[in-house]
A and B are shown apart, each in its own frame.
Chain A
Amino acid sequence: MAIKIEMPKLSDTMEEGVIAKWNISEGDKIEAGDVIAEVETDKATMEVEAFDPGTVLKILVDEGDAVPLGGIMAIVGEEGEDISDLLKEAESANGESSSEEKSDTGNSDNEKKKESSDKKEFDPILEGVDSGNGKEKESTQAEDQADDDGRIKASPLARKMAEDKGIKLSAVDGSGPEGRIIKRDIENYKPAEAKKEGTVQVPSFASEEDEEIKISQMRKVIARRLSESKFNNPHFYETIDIDMERAINARAALNEISDVKISFNDIVVKASAMALRKHPEINSSWLGDTIRKHGDVNVAVAVAIDEGLMTPVLNHTDKKTLQQISTETRELAGLARDRKLQPEQMEGSTFTISNLGMFGIEEFTAIINPPNACILAVGAIRDVPVVKNGEVVPGKRMKVTLSSDHRIVDGAKAAQFLNTLRTMIENPLAMML
């Protein structure tokens, strides 16, 4: 039966031995009492004798390598014997330490050993009051000091006070020996006094306290859904500038006869819904295996509320009149602000519109509201100089930006949709067709 030759304890204090020399090779026949190796311990180089006769089947450690006490150095047995079990055992026993040691160069290896044996001597149990903890603290303190701003001398207290107050030590004059900055220098420090010729004094400000806010349920949902959308859906953006001249006139005319006030947003919603009907690929959802072109056009409108934002849905938007859209949008927005929207009033959207025009935002890009394929970001109507018939004249323009999920919609399709949308808004009568 094969037997392991383990690292023997050759001195009272050794924890590992380094193979200085092998006197045997694999395949050699050995007798009990043969000197098979020389091992360096922490004290001396010692000879290791074989206890049993046999054939050297495997040498597991190279010369120069360290083996922990009891670690397997070699395997001896009868020629041709199966030693796979022993090899496995040797691997798991020696594995960690030997691979670690091998990766190091000889020199640092020795250093490392020295360090670890040093540590042993300062066993925390024997060390009494001076616990290991204290040691760690000391070393970090030393590092802190070294990390600090070079050669400025300051007492530890002054350093800490300066840090707490946000005062740069370099701006403080030290009144202690050799210019050491001490407590009273920090206490008496006034930024204005520290002025130096030809330089602008940058005042230091005490930092105000941060506030940790608990994340509301709504914020969690927004964070999760929009992160998913932005990170998973390959967004691309197309912006188109729309002439609002006629839309403005049409709105004025409509509002003269309408019971409810029609807003530009209502016009954009209506025009988008009609354009979606003509471009069903925009009115779609990515389902993983398939793309669903929705039968209905249900436009969601982003409503800002104090705690975040909600997207109530106008069902069958394309079939509704401007008056209906206006009334319903106002109702839903009111419910949203009062946090009274029912879940079903926020479900089933096929497209979303986000309008920041009222804040004077010229244009922006929005993150797609899943499972929509696209979202329209609506900017403000601006007074701009436009060129008409070769002359510069005052004009009204509004930019809209479509964010599209490239898995569903390609650039040209999005452009076609935007062109239809522009035509609708620039020619409000087209919506009646």
Chain B
Amino acid sequence: MAELQFREAIRDAMDEEMARDEKVFLMGEEVSEYNGAYKVSEGLLDKYGFKRVIDTPISELGFAGIGVGAAMNGLRPIVEFMTFNFAVLAADQIINHASKARYMLGGQLNTPIVFRGPNASAGQLGATHSVAYDSMYAQFPGLSVIYPSEPDDAKGLLKSAIRNDDAVLFMESEQMYGLKGEVSDEEDYIIPIGKGKIKREGDDVTVVATGKMYHIAKQAANELAKDGVEMEIIDPRTIKPLDIELIVESVKKTNRCVVVDESHPFGGLASEVGFLIQREAFDYLDAPVRRVTLPDVNAPFSKPLFDLWLPGAKNVIDAVNAVTYRN
């Protein structure tokens, strides 16, 4: 095991895959000469040259389209967005082409492309730069959505994503790039897409959280453990396909569930998990499933409002107390 930053784990994954397969290339704003806006691609230009580490103009729709075209023609592009908030401009390429080309052309070609970059809010960046897109993209057939929470997951899953023959959205976070964690030094470390992980075992409540929210859940777990409440934290890691079996098994043990979701409440990961649990584990529920999400309000800029807006450990603790009938 080696301790790596989240950004290093992502770089290692890209580096290994680029070394393994010359069809893999990276492009995006500032990825090449500047070594990445968040230094994720640091060193890749030196190693692979301008042909495989390509700086693009500030034109998301344009370079996403180049990526989709390249994928259709047999390459394996990694398209970096400076944030998924900017990828809205490329949504036509992602939603209408990357996800549907193989389907509409009867399987005559594949779109092995990874769109990656930071997702959701990262402090006071204003309403248009603070949106979580994981649940939205999970709506679309033909797209896989990954939102890892720790460097180890990021490395294993990004390697899987690059090798995947259909389009994958790989979500990161500006606030997590510096996060350090043990990363497996197993050669060719692969985590299959669609496999969740029990990150903390407990008997009292199942808490589902991924990405940045996993760390919020972990804080809540540490607090609640002092009161003798043991949270079981499941990190699905992949939003879609979702490892609902793992979640349901856990809920059958704990009888209660809280989903922590960085999206707005309507039709997101939390509502999907809640629905599936009531369908698959109805008789095992001792309380209605609770969720912790953003409010149905755009991100505020003001610091006090922003802090209220973003889910924190306190919200998770309150939800756990509610489903365990404490108070």
Which residues of A approach B to under 8 Å, CB–CB? Answer: 128-129, 134, 137-138, 141, 155-160, 175-177, 182-184
Contacts and interface: CB of A to CB of B under 8 A. Distances in A.
B279 A183 contact: no
A334 B276 CA distance: 67
Contact of B282 (A129, A141, A158, A182): A141
B99 to A, nearest CB: 14
B283 A160 contact: yes
Nearest to A183: B286
Given A175-B325, A182-B325, A184-B325, A157 B141 contact: no
Interface in B121-158: 141
A109 B150 CA distance: 58
Contacts of B325: 175-177, 182, 184
A138 B287 CA distance: 17
Nearest to A159: B283
A137 B279 contact: yes
Contact of B287 (A141, A160, A176): A176
Nearest to A182: B286
A156 B141 contact: no
B255 interface: yes
A61 B91 CA distance: 53
Nearest to A160: B283
A183 B255 CA distance: 9
A157 B286 contact: yes
Contacts of A176: 287, 325
B265 to A, nearest CB: 20
B283 A156 contact: yes
Contacts of B255: 155, 157, 183
Contacts of A160: 283-284
Given A175-B325, A176-B325, A134 B279 contact: yes
Contact of B284 (A138, A156, A175, A177): A156
B285 interface: yes
Interface in B252-299: 255, 276, 279, 282-287
Nearest to B242: A129
B75 to A, nearest CB: 30
B292 to A, nearest CB: 19
Closest CB pairs A-B (n = 6): A157-B286, A183-B286, A155-B286, A160-B283, A156-B285, A134-B279
A97 to B, nearest CB: 34
Contacts of A137: 279, 282
Contact of A128 (B141, B279, B286): B141
Given A128-B141, A176-B325, A157 B279 contact: no
The dominant DSSP class at the B interface is loop
A157 B325 CA distance: 14
A164 to B, nearest CB: 10
Interface in B283-317: 283-287
A343 B59 CA distance: 99
A141 B284 CA distance: 13
Contacts of A156: 282-286
Nearest to B287: A155
B246 to A, nearest CB: 15
A138 B283 contact: no
A158 B279 contact: no
Interface string B21-59: 000000000000000000000000000000000000000
A182 B282 CA distance: 14
12 contacts: A128-B141, A137-B282, A141-B282, A155-B285, A155-B286, A155-B287, A156-B286, A157-B284, A159-B283, A182-B286, A182-B325, A184-B325
A172 to B, nearest CB: 14
Nearest to A134: B279
A184 B285 CA distance: 12
B279 A138 contact: yes
Contacts of A134: 279
B144 to A, nearest CB: 14
Contacts of B279: 134, 137-138
A182 B141 contact: no
A160 B284 CA distance: 8
Contacts of A158: 286
Contacts of B283: 156-157, 159-160
Given A155-B255, A156-B285, A182-B287, 15 more contacts: A128-B141, A137-B279, A137-B282, A138-B279, A141-B282, A155-B285, A155-B286, A157-B284, A157-B285, A160-B283, A160-B284, A182-B286, A182-B325, A183-B286, A184-B325
Contacts of A129: 276
The residue in B141, B276, B325 that gathers the most chain A C-beta atoms within 10 A of its C-beta is B325
A274 to B, nearest CB: 70
A296 B279 CA distance: 74
Contacts of B286: 155-158, 182-183
Nearest to A158: B286
A185 to B, nearest CB: 10
A306 B325 CA distance: 57
B212 to A, nearest CB: 25
A426 B325 CA distance: 82
Contacts of A183: 255, 286
Contacts of A184: 325
A158 B255 CA distance: 10
The residue in B282, B286, B325 that gathers the most chain A C-beta atoms within 10 A of its C-beta is B286
A108 to B, nearest CB: 30
Nearest to A181: B286
Contacts of A159: 283
A197 B317 CA distance: 40
A338 B282 CA distance: 56
A155 B324 CA distance: 12
A158 B141 CA distance: 38
A156 B278 CA distance: 10
A175 B324 CA distance: 11
A96 to B, nearest CB: 34
A176 B141 CA distance: 40
A160 B141 CA distance: 37
Contacts of A157: 255, 283-286
